[in-house]
């Protein structure tokens, strides 16, 4: 467990200008595409009936309504910002960096391809599936941060606890069908199972020595990350299914969230990332 320096000091040490610049390029690209001529943007939308490789990538950066763009910008800033800060403070900066690059570069064509599994004559566009991916990485980052900064008995293997809790919330936000009720039940059972594992870990071993230094800020950052994840998941799946003549693609939201959790979690469990590296 890392020594607990004053939170504000640790934040200043952990934040890197080049990381912030890299993350800031995404809003610049989204706004730039939005300000381009509408015929050009329409040429970039992804047609499920006639898919094209270029539009499979570009469509995720296209918006037509200002409120659609604003929601995705705010979601990205909040989720990517929380994820980066918690990762930098928790010693898993590389994990977050690789995950973010994967979401921004690889997820657009992957999500477009998986969308073809549901045949329909429609076009897809918007950044919400990628934004939801940044909610999916938060359970992993939160578990690493908690173990490094709050209680060393919390381990990355406990990350499925908030993930399945969020998945249960997703299922309950969708129309009631046997499939969604089954998903909610399975996710709820998994949440309870992992929560019992966390409780057993906290009860079964002696608490580690508390690091010297003020606690102010460290727990608050964890709570903000939890609220950001559950809040965005609730908003992303509770919105009306149709907005201004379009249909909200909850399927791509679910894909983005689930795949974004699975990829880094499996990577950590396979030892591909050294989440015990020293934070700065």
pLDDT in tens, 135-160: 999 999 999 999 998 888 899 999 99
Q: How does pLDDT run across 36-88, given as a tens digit for each residue?
A: 999 999 999 999 888 999 999 999 999 999 999 999 999 999 999 999 999 99
Task: Give pTM, 2 decimals.
Answer: 0.90
Cα 123 → chain centroid? 24
pLDDT of residue 276: 59
Q: Is the pLDDT of residue 92 over 80?
A: yes
Give Cα separations from 2 to 198, 203, 277 (angstroms): 20, 21, 10
Count the residues in the chain.
280
**272 or 212, higher pLDDT:** 272
- The answer as to CATH 2.60.40.10 being correct for domain 7-152+216-269 is no
The neighbouring-strand residues paired with 47 are 123
Q: Percentage of the chain with pLDDT > 90?
A: 66
Q: What is the mean pLDDT of residues 122-144?
A: 95
Residue 206 backbone phi and psi in degrees, to 5: -70, 140
Residue pair 21/71 in contact by the 8 Å Cβ criterion: no
With cut-offs at 50, 70 and 90, classify the pLDDT of residue 272. Answer: confident
| Residue 176 reports pLDDT greater than 60 | yes
Q: Which of 83-97, 179-193, 194-208 has the lowest mean pLDDT?
A: 194-208
Given a cut of 90, whether residue 211 has pLDDT beyond it is no
Helices 107-115/93-105 angle, 10° precision: 50
Tokens for 15, please give them. 């934040």
The pLDDT tens digits for 236-264 are 887 655 555 566 788 888 999 999 999 99
């Amino acid at each position: 467990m890392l020594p607990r320096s004053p939170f504000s000091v640790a934040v200043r040490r952990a934040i890197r200008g080049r990381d912030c610049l890299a993350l800031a390029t995404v809003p610049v690209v989204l706004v730039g595409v939005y300000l381009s001529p509408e015929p050009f943007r329409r040429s970039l939308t992804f047609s499920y009936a006639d898919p094209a490789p270029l539009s499979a990538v570009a469509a995720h950066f296209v918006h037509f309504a200002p409120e659609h763009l604003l929601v995705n910008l705010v979601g990205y800033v909040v989720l990517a910002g929380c994820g980066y800060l918690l990762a930098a403070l928790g010693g898993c900066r590389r994990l977050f960096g690789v995950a973010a690059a994967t979401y921004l570069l690889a997820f657009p064509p992957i999500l477009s391809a998986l969308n073809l599994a549901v045949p329909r004559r429609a076009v897809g566009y918007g950044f919400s599936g990628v934004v939801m991916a940044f909610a999916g990485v938060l359970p992993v980052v939160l578990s690493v941060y908690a173990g490094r900064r709050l209680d060393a008995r919390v381990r990355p293997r406990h990350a499925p606890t908030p993930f399945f809790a969020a998945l249960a919330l997703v299922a309950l936000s969708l129309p009631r069908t046997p499939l969604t009720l089954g998903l909610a039940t399975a996710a709820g059972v998994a949440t309870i199972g992992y929560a019992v594992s966390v409780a057993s870990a906290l009860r079964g071993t002696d608490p580690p020595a508390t690091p010297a230094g003020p606690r102010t800020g460290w727990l608050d950052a964890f709570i903000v990350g939890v609220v950001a994840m559950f809040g965005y998941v609730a908003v992303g799946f509770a919105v009306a299914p149709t907005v201004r003549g379009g249909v909200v693609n909850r399927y791509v939201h679910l894909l983005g969230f689930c795949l974004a959790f699975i990829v880094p979690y499996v990577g950590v469990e396979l030892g591909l990332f050294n989440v015990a590296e020293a934070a700065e």
